[in-house]
Amino acid sequence: MTERIGFEPKIIGFLCNWCSYAGADLAGVSRIQYPPNIRIIRVMCSGRIDPAFVLEAFKNGADGVLVAGCHLPSDCHYLSGNFKAARRIALLRKVLADFGIEPERLRLEWVSASEGDRFAAIVRDIVEEIRKLGPNPFKNKDGETQ
Amino acid sequence: MSNKKVGAVLVVGGGVAGIQASLDLADSGFRVYLLDQSPSIGGVMAQLDKTFPTNDCSMCILSPKLVATGRHPNITIVTNAEITGLDGEAGDFKVKIKKRSRYVIEEKCNGCGICAQKCPVEAVDRFNEGLSNRNAVFVEYPQAVPLKYMIDREKCIGCGTCYEVCKAGAIKYDQKDSETTLNVGSIILAPGFEPFDARLKSEYGYGRFKNVVTSIEFERILSASGPYGGLVLRPSDGEIPKKIAFIQCVGSRDYQLGNTYCSAACCMYGMKEAVIAKEHTPSPLDATIFYMDMRAYGKEFDAYYERAQGEWGIRFVRSRVAGVTEDPRTGNLVIHYVENETPKTEEFDMIVLSIGMHPPKNIEKLASTLGVQLNKYKFCQTNTFAPTETSKPGIFVCGAFSAPKDIPESVAQASGAAAKAMEVIASERGTLVTAKEYPPERDVSKEEPRIGVFVCHCGINIGGVVNVPEVVEYAKKLPHVVYAEANVYTCSQDTQKLIKEKIQQNNLNRVIVASCTPRTHEPLFRETVQESGLNPYLFEMTNIRDQCSWVHMHEPKEATEKAKDLVRSIVAKAALLKPLKKPRINVTPVGLVIGGGVSGMTAALELARQGFEVHLVEREKELGGHLRSIHYLLEGNENPQERLKALINAVNENSKIHVYTETQVTEVSGFVGNFKSKLHQNNGEEKEIEHGVVIVATGAVEYKPTEYLYGKDPRVMTQHELEEKIANGQFKAKNIVMIQCVGARNDERPNCARVCCGQAIKNALKIKEKDPDAEVYVLYKDMRAYGFKEDHYREAATKGVLFVNYSDERKPQVVNDNGTLKVTFYEPIIGKEIEIEPDALVLSAATIPNPDNKRLAEMLKVPLTKDGFFLEAHMKLRPVDFATDGVFLCGMAHSPKYIDESIAQACAAAARATTILAKDTLEMEGIIANVSEDLCSGCRICEPICPYGAIEMKDKNGKLVAHVIEALCKGCGACGTACPTKAITMGHFTNEEILAQVRAALVEVKA
Amino acid sequence: MIFRPKIVAFMCHWSLPPEIDVSTPSLIRGYPKIRIVKTMCAGRIDPAIVMETFLKGADGVLVVGCHSPDCHYVDGNTQAERKVKMLKRLIRLTGFDPERLRLEWANASEIENLARIINHFRNQVASLGASPLTSGESNSDVVINIKAAKAVAENFTLRLLVGREKEMTENANVYGDKVSQEEFDRLLEETLEAEFIRHKIHQLITEKPMSVKEIAAETHMEPSQTLCHIVNMRRKNMITLDHVKGTTPLYKALEAH
């Protein structure tokens, strides 16, 4: 067992039901290990992810947020939800900077139902990256609790 | 002869075709037995990485169908089974089934997989084509349905470990093979195909040279969940290849081996594999395809071919490969081939053999047991006008067993076979299906949330890592939680009883299960809470196995903390859950079929034979469409005009079909189950009809060429005009040139028109039949004589028809030189320009979309392809559905196709329509969007966002507001996210619910 | 200098003559480097402990149990026999001399016999010279091999097979069939070889990531065979892809479970 010391990022993951959530399940079925820093919230479609959800996560102390959906162009179960997510998240990243939150804390990734390995790799990568960035600045300014 | 009929169908083969047929039948009120000889369903499609031409992930699109089949109340999956005997006749068959023992009690196994983890014996994993191992107790693949383990008795040494570790008590070593008899009304055969054994093509070195792999092995290599994790590696040394070659037609179009037919799908999958290989390879990869003809004849396939050559940079070499040799030092391979009459060699790092489709193993035994005729290749014998019927009444066929074919063709044919199978027993619809009764729903609206939490150990799968008792104790302290407990397996039958008891005892009004994935288990638990009188949407689930204990196996402390966070988060959401109603809408059991060609008439007849009233609308004066100009067939001796007459008579005589000729549909409103349409007749009469479904069968038209002097010289004609002349005995020419791809595969219309190669071969053969001395030249780009049509191509060549390849760079030239028609073309084999003076020049003119499509598409709010054909909901798995529920398509409205394909699709559209018409009311999903009319500003942002057209604007007391058509909403929530005034909320995924879930996932809350 | 081999003897309580005081290292005068570890039964000998003993520098390991019908615990001695048989096969794979491990039967009343056994074994080990594991090279092939062998000895699969051997070969397996000794031995051999090579690969790529070809060179295997092991080790989450260098994927070990 690895002893964990120092800053442990808290990551919120919004995963679409059809591809990314299934990919995360496959990581489990294949027992591919990744750091336990992510808390997954299932939504039906990545197009459902309201910027308010992401902001709420940062407001409550999340150090990083992952939004994951079906691969472009045509994997989306709802035909085009992934395109909508792509546009929203790109805009949201711009807005985040205004809040004093590094845009790198918000990640958009496409994960298919057969990419368990990829999902685990993404989580590992995010945790590493956020570890380097340090805690959510929002949290420091306003204290731990909101 | 007994008149007894049984409302059940046996489907043999659980590949994608069998699955589709089963779902259509079960959704239309019939009991289905889906039989597969392997331990799980899914077939070859489950092994594929991506699918052409959309490059969709195969498992992503198949898995929802697998799950739907697995939990359908009217489908019984019978695995490890084979047919041993058949008695009775259409309507009342008795089928003897032998089921091999699994040594695992299916009812008890919950698929946790601990047995395989502990099994000491390894065996070759056939699902991964032998590229990796599995254990002696196994499931074929992680998403398998049913997810029930099985002991490989040949490999198992009988150590007893699985028995010891299985907490569910599912292992049963003394389980015996069993026999049973099924009583069904009809049978559908969908046993698929057997991939060609590449060892037989010994000159290509498969089995001798390590870096020669088959295309199916390569699918597994490409798969992210395959043996190499999705990285393309050379089996000889694990290096990523720099240069890879694909050899087409391995075990197909091969006269030496006797497999003379074309396997129909390999050109496309070969291209796809080349494209995906490049995508999966981090370093530059050179991909070359050695082919004879690129048969990209399907919908949008040529566009893919274009992209493969251009955007993806795949190199195509037209040549039959003579042999492959290996450099034993490097493991590299040398391909020996002939191009332009010159022998050449080229070295590659790796070679993929695009292996063909062969009839399923032991098919002769099955065919003789059932009394079904096979063709000379041992595929199922069918006819052009009955493409899903076997030689035995009541037994139908679909998928690759009828002829090699790709997935969309198989799926369409499967639905088509379902229609025919239902027809036999239409009177018995609904007699053998299980309708579930639930107690009246408890009103919880006035109650404070009272949440019960059930935490699953999953044997040791969760409990071995996560401290489950600690999580239970933690849950008890969370707000609104009044009860929490741990279960060994929360999904087991006895736990369902227990959950119901606890709901009663503790007056619970919200239930949470913390266990595995809701993707597979949510329906089960929803049913349980519903059985105890709660609304099923008062249930929630969190995944502490697949996304916690299994991925943090070495960090029990952190995993336990994570599990607590996840439970806290879902409790916060659950407290806000609201009961949702599944909207029910009435169905008008009437169909509207637009188009009275062979497709439209077939669809109308099928619906009528299922017992539904049909309105059949034809623009022209007569029924028949395109078929009226077809006088003889390429395959088989049926007389098309006689068949057409019979079909028209059948339509006219059927009292359920209302035929409107010289009529157009001018307006369609409403939605699935409840359409209203206006018909306008040429005589000025208007009529309004109500119907539950629409089938679009508007066909296509022949392109009127502007090239090659067409219309300017009477000796120049199209294939249809030629056929007409031959049929009338007016054709006397001695010297004939045919030019293929006129008006197709060009910049304006990049796709192939599919039927012209067959037409050219058919007409050339007819000319030769009447006058063996006639000289016929066919100038072609690729001869796309796919499937068994290849035989006729060869026959034509044998009879002296000269096939000459031309390229876009050197198209044939046609001039009228002082009254002499001259055709010049380049003959690549001799490398010379040749000039011919034909007395007839026949242009294989493309089949192009009906010009009326645009108007219809707008009226029906359905999309068209760039070319102008109708675009279905999904190119692979929903070939006859539109994304808009209740609207279907078939025949040439979809894309150019042969008669048998149109008929199969027409039957398919009818079967899909029947899944709606067979129900008095449709139950829609409860998770849909809701508009608060007070908040709605009428800005219309949501309207175009919805991909299903489920949002319409309505006038409400003078204010324009968005309105959700419940029947069309699929619940993705994209509209809610776009709404600037937050007037739209999504049931079960409301903003408040998700925000609460986010907050609680991050912040500790105390009761 | 005369080579005095370091020998560790695992002796069962019931075969150990009462005269012998296990707390003193000297059993027989003149051979001070024999250490005795007492266990209640020879069946208790854990293959992993034997391997650890070699790793710690023993030149020879002797296991002593009771004569066949005399085992105080019914069949502890035959269990010891199976374990030693498996261990010798395993050691053979490592290039280490299996003669450095020996199983003998003794009786508490026969101290002379025991002395003879020890003497004989000591001579045998002396003739083999110092254990290659004592050379101090921590990364030599043989050290890696023995470490891998130890990991194999700790491995669930092997322990399970050896544990079930008696029942399956002498009585019957769960299907009521008797598994012939040859069949069982074949399976055991196959499993041993596979597990050993996998654990060796695991050892090799613990420090730094390696490619299939590099691993093949180190393990004297065909690269194609190496790749098969890599595939199955990934399946079991023993290793993972570290990175791709040019066209060469490199793999690294994951922490042992």
> pLDDT for A49-74, tens place per residue?
999 999 999 999 999 999 999 998 87
Q: Which of B210, B240, B241 sits opposite C244 (nearest CB)?
A: B240
CB A33 within 8 A of CB B551: yes
Distance CA B404, CA B264 (A): 6
Cβ-based interface (< 8 Å): residues of A facing C: 2, 30-33
Q: Which residue of A has its CA nearest to B929?
A: A48
Cβ-based interface (< 8 Å): residues of C facing A: 235, 237, 254-255
Mean pLDDT of chain C: 88
Q: Which of B132, B161, B240 sits opposite C231 (nearest CB)?
A: B132
Residue in the structure block whose two tokens are 């097979």? C161
Give chain B positions within 8 Å (CB) of C191: 120, 122
Q: Which residue of A has its CA nearest to C235?
A: A30
pLDDT given at position B866: 85
For residue C113, give how far its alpha carbon lies from the nearest alpha carbon of chain B (Å). 39
How sure is the predictor about B208, in pLDDT bands with cuts at 50, 70 and 90?
A: very high
How sure is the predictor about B1007, in pLDDT bands with cuts at 50, 70 and 90?
A: very low
Distinct helix (H) and strand (E) counts, chain B: 23, 52
Contact between chains at C255 and A2 (C-beta distance less than 8 A): yes
Contact between chains at B231 and C241 (C-beta distance less than 8 A): yes
Task: Pick B195-358's CATH classification: 1.10.10.10, 3.90.580.10, 3.20.20.80, 3.50.50.60.
Answer: 3.50.50.60
Q: Name the segment(s) of chain B with CATH classification 3.40.50.
A: 451-574
SS3 breakdown of chain C: % helix, strand, coil, rounded to 5?
Answer: 55, 15, 30
pLDDT given at position C24: 58
Q: Which of B551, B558, B566 sits opposite A28 (nearest CB)?
A: B551
Query: In this complex, is the C-beta atom of B210 within 8 Å of any C-beta atom belonging to chain C?
Result: yes
Distance CA B303, CA B867 (A): 10
Identify which has the larger pLDDT, B633 or C256: B633
Q: Name the segment(s) of chain B with CATH classification 3.50.50.60.
A: 1-100+177-193+359-434, 195-358, 586-699+850-917, 703-846
Chains touching chain B, criterion 3+ CB pairs below 8 Å: A, C
Query: In this complex, is the C-beta atom of A91 within 8 Å of any C-beta atom belonging to chain B?
Result: no
Q: Which residue of A has its CA nearest to B998?
A: A57
Give chain C positions within 8 Å (CB) of A4: none
Mean pLDDT of chain B: 94
Chains touching chain C, criterion 3+ CB pairs below 8 Å: A, B
Q: Which of C160, C223, C246 sits opposite B283 (nearest CB)?
A: C246
Distance CA C172, CA B476 (A): 49
Query: In this complex, is the C-beta atom of A131 within 8 Å of any C-beta atom belonging to chain B?
Result: no
For residue B996, CA distances in Å to B173, B568, B574, B1002, C5 come to 49, 10, 9, 10, 71
- CB atoms under 10 Å from CB of A96, counted, come to 21
- Count of pairs with CB atoms under 8 A, one residue in B, one in C: 96
Mark A53-77 as b/e (b = at least 16 C-beta within 10 Å): bbbbbbbbbbbbbbbbbbbeebbbb
Q: Which residue of C has its CA nearest to B125?
A: C232
Contact between chains at A29 and B554 (C-beta distance less than 8 A): no
For residue B141, give how far its alpha carbon lies from the nearest alpha carbon of chain C (Å). 13
ipTM > 0.85 (yes/no): yes
Chain A interface test: which of C233, C236, C237 (most A C-beta within 10 Å): C237
Contacts of B833 (CB under 8 A, 6+ apart): B824, B825, B826, B827
Q: Which long-range contacts (CB under 8 A, 24 or more apart) does A72-75 make?
A: A72/A110, A74/B54, A74/B55, A74/B56, A75/A19, A75/A110, A75/A112, A75/B56, A75/B57, A75/B60
Q: Which long-range contacts (CB under 8 A, 24 or more apart) does B436-443 make?
A: B436/B73, B438/B530, B438/B531, B438/B533, B439/B531, B439/B532, B439/B533, B440/B533, B441/B533, B441/B534, B441/B535, B441/B579, B442/B509, B442/B533, B442/B534, B442/B535
pLDDT given at position B892: 97
Cβ-based interface (< 8 Å): residues of C facing B: 156-158, 160-161, 164, 168, 172-175, 177, 179, 183-184, 187, 191, 194, 211-213, 216, 223-224, 226-228, 230-232, 234-235, 241, 244, 246-249, 255, 257
For residue C165, give how far its alpha carbon lies from the nearest alpha carbon of chain A (Å). 30
Residue in the structure block whose two tokens are 């002593």? C64
Per-residue pLDDT at C253 exceeds 80 = yes
Q: Give the architecture (CATH level 2) of B586-699+850-917.
A: 3-Layer(bba) Sandwich (3.50)
Chain C interface test: which of B177, B221, B237 (most C C-beta within 10 Å): B237
Per-residue pLDDT at C2 exceeds 90 = no
pLDDT given at position A144: 47
Give chain C positions within 8 Å (CB) of A2: 255
Q: Which of A42, A48, A120 sits opposite B977 (nearest CB)?
A: A48
Q: What is the 3-state secondary structure (H, E, C) of C74-107?
A: CCHHHHHHHHHHHHHHHHHHHCCCHHHEEEEEEC
- Count of pairs with CB atoms under 8 A, one residue in A, one in B: 187
Query: In this complex, is the C-beta atom of A65 within 8 Å of any C-beta atom belonging to chain B?
Result: no
pLDDT given at position B340: 80
- Provide the H-helix boundaries in B805-953: 853-860, 899-917, 942-945
Contact between chains at B210 and C224 (C-beta distance less than 8 A): yes
How sure is the predictor about C27, in pLDDT bands with cuts at 50, 70 and 90?
A: low
Give chain C positions within 8 Å (CB) of B175: none
Query: How do residues B27-42 score in pLDDT, each as one tens digit?
Result: 999 999 999 999 999 9
Contact between chains at A48 and B972 (C-beta distance less than 8 A): yes
Paired tokens of C53:
């003993």
Q: Which residue of C has its CA nearest to B211?
A: C224
pLDDT given at position C73: 82
Task: Kindly report the CATH number that applies to the domain delimited by B101-176.
Answer: 3.30.70
Strand segments (E) across B870-933: 887-889, 921-923, 929-931
Task: Kindly report the CATH number that applies to the domain delimited by B703-846.
Answer: 3.50.50.60
Which domains does chain C show, CATH number per domain?
7-134 (no CATH), 155-253 (1.10.10.10)
Q: Does domain B929-1002 have CATH number 3.90.1150.10?
A: no
Paired tokens of B363:
């098919």
pLDDT given at position A25: 92
* The CATH fold of domain B451-574: Rossmann fold (3.40.50)
Least confident of B82-86, B543-547, B873-877: B873-877
Give chain C positions within 8 Å (CB) of A32: 237
Q: Which residue of C has its CA nearest to B122?
A: C191
- CB atoms under 10 Å from CB of B266, counted, come to 29
Identify which has the larger pLDDT, B838 or C118: B838
pLDDT given at position A2: 43
Least confident of B339-343, B475-479, B659-663, B729-733: B339-343
Contact between chains at B238 and C212 (C-beta distance less than 8 A): yes
Query: In this complex, is the C-beta atom of B175 within 8 Å of any C-beta atom belonging to chain C?
Result: no
Task: Kindly report the CATH number that applies to the domain delimited by B1-100+177-193+359-434.
Answer: 3.50.50.60
Contact between chains at A39 and B1001 (C-beta distance less than 8 A): yes
pLDDT given at position C13: 85
Give chain B positions within 8 Å (CB) of C168: 157-159
Mean of pLDDT values over A32-40: 95
Q: What is the pTM of this model?
A: 0.89
Contact between chains at A32 and C237 (C-beta distance less than 8 A): yes
pLDDT given at position A146: 39
Contacts of B914 (CB under 8 A, 6+ apart): B24, B28, B419, B422, B607, B610, B612
| φ, ψ of residue B356 in degrees (nearest 5) | -85, 180
Per-residue pLDDT at C232 exceeds 90 = yes
Contacts of B399 (CB under 8 A, 6+ apart): B13, B15, B16, B17, B18, B190, B191, B192, B405, B410, B413, B414
Contact between chains at B558 and A77 (C-beta distance less than 8 A): no
pLDDT given at position B580: 93
Q: Which of C174, C228, C246 sits opposite B158 (nearest CB)?
A: C174
| φ, ψ of residue A18 in degrees (nearest 5) | -90, -40
For residue C229, CA distances in Å to B20, B217, C92, C143, C245 come to 38, 18, 20, 21, 20
Query: How do residues B489-537 score in pLDDT, each as one tens digit?
Result: 898 878 898 999 999 999 999 999 999 999 888 988 999 999 999 999 9
Contact between chains at C254 and A33 (C-beta distance less than 8 A): yes
Contact between chains at B550 and A31 (C-beta distance less than 8 A): yes
Query: How do residues B302-314 score in pLDDT, each as one tens digit?
Result: 999 999 999 899 9
Which domains does chain A show, CATH number per domain?
11-133 (3.40.50)
Distance CA B270, CA B293 (A): 13
Mean of pLDDT values over B260-266: 97
Query: In this complex, is the C-beta atom of A5 within 8 Å of any C-beta atom belonging to chain B?
Result: no
Percent of chain B at pLDDT exceeding 70: 100
Q: Which of B64, B517, B974 sits opposite A25 (nearest CB)?
A: B517
How sure is the predictor about C151, in pLDDT bands with cuts at 50, 70 and 90?
A: very high
Mean of pLDDT values over C91-115: 89
Query: In this complex, is the C-beta atom of A134 within 8 Å of any C-beta atom belonging to chain B?
Result: no
- Count of pairs with CB atoms under 8 A, one residue in A, one in C: 7
